Amino acid sequence: MCYRSGMKALLAEYAVSHDPSLAPEGAAMLDVLTKSFVRCGYEVVTPGPGDFGNEIGRLAPSCDVGLVIAPDHLLARFTTILEQHTHNIGCGSMTAAVCANKVHTAKILRSHGIPVPDEAATGMRVIKPVSGCGAQGVRKSDKATGAHEFGQQYIDGEHLSVSLVASRVVGDACLYFSGAPPLVLALNRQSIRIGDDGAFHYLGGETPIDHTKSGEITEVAKKTVGVLGCQGYCGVDVVVSDRVYVVDVNARITTSLVGIAACMKEEIAEILVSASKGSVPAAVHLYGRVKFDKGGKVTRL
């Protein structure tokens, strides 16, 4: 059990105070993280309801570590502020900016031989915001794309995700870079419903799961975070069909952590802090299996 008495952690979660549509997921992730950091002896501070960037700038200088949880299109901006004032235990701002652009991310992964759906300008396809968060704005349609949207080939398959923690690759590289491979926390099943109007709805998921292609799936995920330079916790969304296709990369805490933490012996707080200094365990110990919804309700299976 870790114990860091007298240390302070800034957990800057955006949605709880600033985005009602994402607030339940944000609250669930914040609750899991807060409890873990408290168990590890940290005093946890969180931004108030005022300007989010100003709040980070006000609170971060007095904290030993900090983490931003925000929608993808805002993550890099607020992470940059955090990095100027304290030790970031999440993904670096540069990689957060890259991953927020879904078109650019797909091009990078494709150029490194990682399967991604082909871009599709016409016909029945998946239409996504170029910079989106989760399933917001994602739909299956043959209609024209709107402003700041793009189309991808629809892949019929299983919707899964891999939750990983990558060690330090940027920042205080001379002190903390170790070259350690990313730690796979769990393979998760995603519960996604496609409505009559074609809109995708993320409902939660199940973790940990086993799969006949578990090895291939996790290797694709590890290669993905390595190519993009991710660090800290990240989630790689895949569709498993004839191949393992990467459909999204989240350079931040994801809702799957709510389920994983309910099964994991280790403390996520200790893993994140250790990874930010170049050290991750070889594996974690997961007990049982749970399903979880996007509001944070966890049910043991």
Q: Which backbone phi and psi does 135 adopt, to 5 degrees?
A: -95, 5
Cα–Cα distances in Å, from 93 out to 18, 79, 129, 143, 236? 20, 5, 20, 34, 18
Q: Please write the tens of the pLDDT for every residue from 78-96.
A: 999 999 999 999 999 999 9
| pTM beyond 0.75 | yes
Q: Is pLDDT of 171 > 70?
A: no
pLDDT-based confidence at 2, cuts 50/70/90? low
Q: Please write the tens of the pLDDT for every residue from 229-270.
A: 999 999 999 999 999 999 999 999 999 999 999 999 999 999
d(CA 258, CA 35): 11
In order of their start, the domains of the chain are 8-300 (3.30.470.20)
pLDDT averaged over the chain? 94
Give the per-residue pLDDT at 223. Answer: 97
Q: Please write the tens of the pLDDT for every residue from 199-219.
A: 999 999 999 999 999 999 999
d(CA 33, CA 158): 28
Which residues lie across from 290 on neighbouring strands?
207, 300
Single-letter code of the amino acid located at 265? K
Give the per-residue pLDDT at 247. Answer: 97
Q: Please write the tens of the pLDDT for every residue from 10-51.
A: 999 999 999 999 999 999 999 999 999 999 999 999 999 999
Strand order in the sheet with 244-250: 244-250, 232-240, 158-166, 183-194, 200-207, 290-293, 298-300
